[in-house]
Amino acid sequence: MLLDIFLPGSVARLMLKKKPGCCCTLWCAGGLRMQGAGSRGFTLVELMIAVAIIGILAMITFPAIIRARWRAGVARYCHDVRIAAGAFELYALEHGTYPPDRTPAVVPPGMDEYLEKIRWQNPTSLGGNWDWDYRVFGYEAGVSVYKPDAPEEILKSVDATIDDGNLDSGIFRSRPDGYIYIIEE
């Protein structure tokens, strides 16, 4: 019963006592629910309390759900960028050079079989597109995310996971219109 949630057991039992000669199931002064013959349902007060409780629970859980979603996206991106970097390194080992630079979301020639585990044409888990950078931005080779949707704090979290937490140094850095995981400087 609703009263048991908000009131100690003895107080709730006192309020539930029926007045002599009253047709109510509950004591009238309790004002919670009047159940006469055939009357069923919840009062407006009970419904408002239930809605308020649901609202409070939603306010508590929503930010946690958002944080968990971003953490999962960071973990997924870190995993995928390492796999992509390994694929490009394997290609370079087998062919003696890296594949030529391509535009974002376009698989470089000869890399289809190496990038089977990554959907290169699809957006990354941080938003934006995958991009292979060869001899651009002052680096020999790197895997980039082009125009990510994620806020900078999320990208700093990626950098802290992969590297040193500083987007201006290390192997994960900012670049024009995106961020690059440097394979070779």
Question: Over the stretch 24-44, which tens digit does the pLDDT of each residue have?
Answer: 554 444 455 555 555 678 899
pLDDT at 175 over 60: yes
Mean per-residue pLDDT, 92-116:
93
What is the token pair recorded at 95? 């062919």
pLDDT at 144 over 50: yes
Domain definitions of the chain by residue range = 58-184
What is the token pair recorded at 9? 């057991």
Output the pTM of the full model: 0.67
pLDDT at position 11 = 45
* Whether the Cβ atoms of residue 20 and residue 31 lie closer than 8 Å to each other: no
Looking at 22-36, 63-77, 94-108, which range is the least confident one? 22-36
What is the token pair recorded at 110? 């000869």
The closest alpha carbon to 147, from 170, 175, 177, 117, belongs to 177
